[in-house]
Amino acid sequence: MVMLVAGSVFSQGDPHYSMYMFNKLAINPAYAGSRDALTLTGHYRNQWEGIDGAPKTFTFAGHAPFFKNRVGVGLSLISDKIGMVNTTYVDMSYAYRIKVSDEAKLAIGLQGQLDFGRIDWSKADPLDGGDQRFSEGRETRLNPNFGLGVYYQHEKYYIGASVPRILKTSIYDKDARSQSVSINSLRSYYLMGGFVSRVGENVKFQPGALVSINPNAPFEFDLNASFVFMDALWVGASYRLGDSFDFILQYRFNQQLKAAIAADLTLTELNNYSPGSFELMLEYTLQFDGAKYNNIRYF
C-alpha cells in the first residue's frame, strides 16, 4: 500500500505511544525528575507494520531531579517519520516540584522545543500526475514551540494534565502550498491518571487511563491495566477506543534496568493491510550524588 498525497491537507500531530505510562515525559513536561534519580529511556514505535509511509517514531529521553528534588530537568530527542514528512523534536523540560506531604508531590512543568520539519516531495504519489504543486526537491523549516503540564504524584496514584505543543507550526512560508502541509496543525490536550493496589502477597494491580482531546480529531481514550508480579514483571493490556487492543509486557532486571514490549492489534479496516503496531522500550536509572533508589517506582 502506498500513501497518496492529494494536496489538500497533510498534517501531523504529536507522536503516539501505547506505552505512554512508562514514558510520561514524552507528553507531560511536569513529569521531569519524578523518578528521584537520573533516568534514561529509549522508545521505538512502528505503527501499522507493512503499510508504506506509516508512522515510525524513535524517542530518547533523560530526566533527573536537582536542588534536593525541588526541581526536575529533562531532555527529549524525538524522530518522527510519516510518509514524506520527517520531523525531529528537541524538547527541554523544567518542572518545579512542591512537596504536598511525605507521600505526595505536585509538579508544574514548562517545555521549550525546537521542531525541525522536512518534506521530500520526490516521494509524493499525487492523484493528478500533472499537479505542479509537487516538486522533486526537499523543503525544511525550523520552528520554536512550547508546552505546559501539571503532575500530581502520590505513592499510590497519580494524575496529570498537559499540552505538549501549543503553537501551530508549518514547515513552509505562508504561500499556497504551505497551507497544505504542517508539523503540528493539531493541538492536543492530555489528561492521565492511574493507581496501584496490592491484590496478593506478591501481586499488585495497576490500572490507568489517558484521554486525548483535539478539536480537529476523533476523541481518543486509552484504558490500561497491568498485574505486577514480584515487583519485577508487568503483564498488561490496553484498549484504545475504536482503534486497537494492546498487549504490554515489562520486566525489571534489577533496580536500574527495565525493558518493555507492546503489540497493538488493530480493530479498524486497516487490519486488512497491516497486522498491527509494536513498540520497544529500554530504561536505565542511575544513582548519583548519593541519591538512594531503593524503592520501586510504579509511576
- Kindly report the CATH number assigned to the domain that includes residue 91: 2.40.160.60
Instruction: Classify residue 269: in a domain, yes or no.
Output: yes
The larger pLDDT score, comparing residue 47 to residue 216, is at: 47
Q: In which band, very low, low, confident or very high, does the pLDDT at 1 lie, cut at 50, 70 and 90?
A: very low
Instruction: Classify residue 137: in a domain, yes or no.
Output: yes
Closest CA to 278 of 260, 267, 259, 263: 263
Instruction: Classify residue 128: in a domain, yes or no.
Output: yes
Instruction: Classify residue 243: in a domain, yes or no.
Output: yes
The larger pLDDT score, comparing residue 24 to residue 135, is at: 24
What is the spatial distance between Cα 276 and Cα 211, in angstroms, rounded to a whole number? 21
Q: 150-159, 183-192, 278-287 — which is least confidently predicted?
A: 183-192
Instruction: Classify residue 175: in a domain, yes or no.
Output: yes
The larger pLDDT score, comparing residue 183 to residue 190, is at: 190
> Using one digit for the tens of pLDDT, what is the confidence trace for 7-44?
333 444 677 789 999 989 999 999 999 988 999 999 99
**What's the pLDDT at 180?**
45
**What's the pLDDT at 176?**
41
**Cell 505503527 found at:** 47
What is the pTM (predicted TM-score) of this model?
Answer: 0.85
**What's the pLDDT at 131?**
55
Closest CA to 90 of 33, 144, 126, 154: 144
Instruction: Decide if 206 contacts 225 (C-beta within 8 A).
Output: yes
Strand ranges (E), 83-202: 85-99, 104-120, 138-154, 157-163, 189-195, 197-200
Closest CA to 248 of 239, 237, 257: 237
DSSP 81: E
For the chain, how many residues are written? 299
pLDDT at 2 over 60: no
Instruction: Classify residue 131: in a domain, yes or no.
Output: yes
**In the chain, how many domains are there?**
1
Instruction: Classify residue 59: in a domain, yes or no.
Output: yes
Instruction: Classify residue 3: in a domain, yes or no.
Output: no
Instruction: Decide if 111 contacts 164 (C-beta within 8 A).
Output: yes
Structural domain boundaries enclosing 65: 20-286
- Average pLDDT of every residue of the chain: 84
Tell me the three state secondary structure of residue 121: helix
DSSP 122: G
